[in-house]
Amino acid sequence: MIESSVVETSPVATIDSGDSIINPVTPEPKDNLDEFSQCLTDKGVKFYGTYTCCENQKKLFGDSFKYVVYVECADKDNPQVQTPECEAAGISGYPTWIINDKQYPGEQTLEGLAKLTGCEQ
């Protein structure tokens, strides 16, 4: 069972909300986060989101986002329906990170992810 942890983060978009949320995280990607992103993947970290949310979180990684394990939670035919993988993981809002079997909802800073995982930026 995945445990949910609460950390100080930006607002999280809920599954049933049709409202837009303005997130205060400013996407300023560092030059190269390939090794950091690969470290997250090596440690089994997963990032859950939808194509209608989470752009700021994705932009923090710049081109290195391709190395992050991203799980799309919106059904491709009906974006209001959650995919079975996200439902099975107990994802109730976006973005959500799962690190060491714990859920961290909301946008995470690179520094916060580094602290939670031991990966160096």
Residue 90 has pLDDT above 70, yes or no: yes
pLDDT for residue 50 = 96
Q: Which two tokens stand for residue 93?
A: 């809002």
The answer to whether position 65 is within a domain reads yes
Residue 121 has pLDDT above 70, yes or no: yes
CATH number where 99 lies: 3.40.30.10
State how many domains the chain has.
1
The answer to whether position 89 is within a domain reads yes
The answer to whether position 23 is within a domain reads no
The answer to whether position 50 is within a domain reads yes
| Main-chain dihedrals φ then ψ at residue 95, nearest 5 degrees | -75, 160
pTM of the predicted protein model: 0.76
Residue 27 has pLDDT above 90, yes or no: no
The answer to whether position 120 is within a domain reads no
The answer to whether position 45 is within a domain reads yes
Q: Which two tokens stand for residue 108?
A: 């995470």
Mean local confidence (pLDDT), 23-27: 49
pLDDT for residue 9 = 44
Q: What is the CA 72 to chain-centroid distance, rounded?
A: 10
Closest C-alpha among 49, 55, 65, 56 to residue 97: 49
The answer to whether position 11 is within a domain reads no
> Which residue segment(s) compose the domain that 63 sits in?
39-107
